[in-house]
Homo-oligomer: A and B are copies of this chain.
Amino acid sequence: MPSTTFENLAPEKRERFVLEARDEFARCPYDQASITAIVKRLGIAKGSVYQYFDDKLDLFAWLVGEAGRRKVAGLGSVAPAGGDPYALLRAAYRDGLRYWLAEPEWSRLALRVLEPSVDAGVSRLRRSQEAAVHAWLEQWLAEGQRTGAVRRDLPVADGARLVRGLLSEGLLSAFLGRLGTDADAFLEAPSDLPAHAVAEALGVADVAVDLLERALRP
């Protein structure tokens, strides 16, 4: 949790701090991210960081939370009214990909927390994030089974994990593949893409959910 000192910072200074710290943690896995590098880029003293946050993990955890907060703020309400659950998935993952393009650094930061790490604190963070996605998908599946949109002979626990592989790692990889790059390359040189290329690449979410619909409908 940031200290009051941090809250009291002049907004522009605070935002600059936030963005620079975000970039550092987005750049590489937690253990490689360097507080020293952040303060160097900002031109402030290292001690300042420790007046804002308890320690490195505290800063990282807050940034991860901030990534989530900004994403929901940026996307607005995601509820596309009750209806076909597959349409809901399509919309949700299309929004997710759109957000990835709009805010690649925040998105990458959010992915960093899912990486394995030796640090016990980071592992705890990761597990809780994974559990959240997993729970959401399990609930989606269970609801689908209740309404008849999903086969009833599929074990929900297995299903949630398999679907997560398809819609997380798989979808992102396919999306970036369509953009003609991979995650690393994209973030090293985020290029401005023509709108039609983006629109076409977003179509991969439909391909993925179509696949899923065929696999899951009774």
Residues of A near any B CB (own CB < 8 A): 27-29, 31-32, 115-118, 123, 127, 154-155, 157-158, 161-171, 173-174, 177-178, 182-184, 204, 207-208, 211-212, 214-216
Q: Measured between alpha carbons, how far is A214 from B162 in the docked complex, in Å?
A: 14
Q: Are B165 and A173 in contact (CB under 8 A)?
A: yes
> Among the interface residues A115, A169, A207, which one has the most CB atoms of the partner chain B within 10 A?
A169
In the complex, the answer to whether B184 meets A162 with C-beta atoms within 8 Å is: no
The dominant DSSP class at the A interface is: helix
**Known contacts A177-B161, A215-B212; is A169 also within 8 Å of B168 by CB?**
yes
Residues of chain B lying within 8 A (CB to CB) of residue A173: 161, 164-165
Q: Are B166 and A118 in contact (CB under 8 A)?
A: no
A130 to chain B, nearest CB (A): 8
A29-B117, A29-B118 known; A165-B171 Cβ under 8 A: yes
Contact of A157 among B29, B127, B171, B177 (CB under 8 A): B177
A211 CA to B173 CA in the complex, in Å? 20
Point out the residue from B117, B165, B178 that lies within 8 Å of A166, measured CB to CB: B165
With A115-B116, A118-B29, A177-B161 as contacts: A207 and B154 at CB distance below 8 Å:
yes
